[in-house]
Amino acid sequence: MARSGAATIVDVARLAGVSPAAVSKVIRGAYGVSPSMRERVEAAIEQLAYRPRVAARAMRGSTFSIGIELPHPGYHFFTTILQGATAALGHTRYQPIVVPTATEAERDGRALDLLADRQVDGIVAVSPLVSPDRLERLAARIPVVLLGRHDRTASYDTVTGDDVEGTRQVMKHLLGLGHRRIAYLVQEGQAAMPGIRTPQETRMEQYLEHMHRAGLGAAARVVRTVDGDVVPESAVEALLAPERPTAILVGRHELALEMLQAVTARGLDVSVAGYDDTCLAGHPAISLTCVDQDGVEMGAKAIRLLLERIGGRTEAAHLTVEPTLKARASTRPVR
């Protein structure tokens, strides 16, 4: 036994009367072990409660772990992706490890480096704000799947909600209800990253496009809010002052809930629609219309792509997940 008290592969080998190399083969299910040896080794492993150390394996072999980079664990949509991913990993030999990017400073991809330092076998990243060339460099060494990126590259795979279609649906819905003065609320910092097309940016562009096509280009109005959880009073005022829109489309779920609250609190008849669904959007007391992206599906697809890459696929894959509009009480016909 080593000093730490835990058994090593040598202890197992000694007890089973075989070489450490043989034990290694057994635990990896590698070729070239007789049933009798396997049996003895497995008994020894059991008896010593042996567990291979990930670090030692990583020195030469594989860590059998998938790194998931998750910004802002408090956002419901992101945890949905996480659920899908961990579920998809369930019956494989790979383990998920999550690195939360808590601070703003880490959003630049530092968290991805941390995962690379851990020599994970693949990375699922939800970071929309990392520069493409940084990702290129990373993907050259480790399989990487990006979620929600609209840039297509050969070096990493992507899984993206169809923001064009989602925006089309919700705009059609609002226009169909008779709305003409429709505003768009977007999170600052999400709409203007050079070289990166974030989902919120795409949605905003599509919003403008649809307004234009409906002959409402002059009525289009984009309000930006700071990067954070709350809609500042100034943005609310900007939107709800007289000459206000009759409907507001919001780029991110949490902000939509806030906006809806602000509208309700003022007793105004302004429709609000958002992106991403949660159980609370469906709560009768809230009933927020939104474009539902299937996060579980997205997480699962990301893992599938990653495992394919690890399995040897070299050409890039780009998957799209179709959103569905959940029309609820927060959007009403214009009076």
Partner DNA sequence: GCCGAGACTGGAAGCGGTTGCGCACTTCCA
Partner DNA sequence: TGGAAGTGCGCAACCGCTTCCAGTCTCGGC
Interatomic CA distance for residues 106 and 110, integer angstroms: 5
Q: How many helices (H) and strands (E) does the chain have?
A: 12, 12
Q: Tell which one of 130, 135, 223, 257 touches its own copies (CB under 8 A).
A: 257
Let me know: does 187 contact 149? Beta carbons within 8 Å: no
Per CB under 7 A, 140 contacts DNA: no
Per CB under 8 A, 314 contacts its own copies: no
| Residue that is written with structure tokens 């034990």 in the block | 23
Radius of gyration for the chain, computed over Cα atoms and rounded to the nearest angstrom: 25
Interatomic CA distance for residues 330 and 213, integer angstroms: 25
Q: How far is the CB of 100 from DNA (least distance, A)?
A: 24
Per CB under 7 A, 74 contacts DNA: no
Q: How many residues bind its own copies (CB under 8 A)?
A: 49
Q: Tell which one of 14, 33, 79, 334 touches DNA (CB under 7 A).
A: 33
Per CB under 8 A, 6 contacts its own copies: yes
Q: Which is nearer to DNA, 45 or 255 (CB)?
A: 45
Per-residue mark of binding to DNA, 158-177 (x: CB under 7 A): --------------------
> 3-state SS string over 280-326?
CCCCCCCCCEEEECCHHHHHHHHHHHHHHHHCCCCCCCEEEECCEEE
Q: Which is nearer to DNA, 17 or 232 (CB)?
A: 17
Per-residue mark of binding to its own copies, 270-309 (x: CB under 8 A): ---------xx--xxxx-----------------------
Q: How far is the CB of 47 from its own copies (least distance, A)?
A: 16
Helix (H, G, I), strand (E, B) or coil at 100: strand
Per CB under 7 A, 30 contacts DNA: yes
Per CB under 7 A, 10 contacts DNA: yes
Interatomic CA distance for residues 62 and 60, integer angstroms: 7
Contacts of 210 (CB under 8 A, 6+ apart): 167, 168, 171, 172, 175
Q: Residue 2's binding partner, choosing from its own copies, DNA, none, with beta-carbon cut-off 5 to 8 A by kind?
A: DNA
Q: Which is nearer to DNA, 25 or 149 (CB)?
A: 25
Per CB under 8 A, 59 contacts its own copies: yes
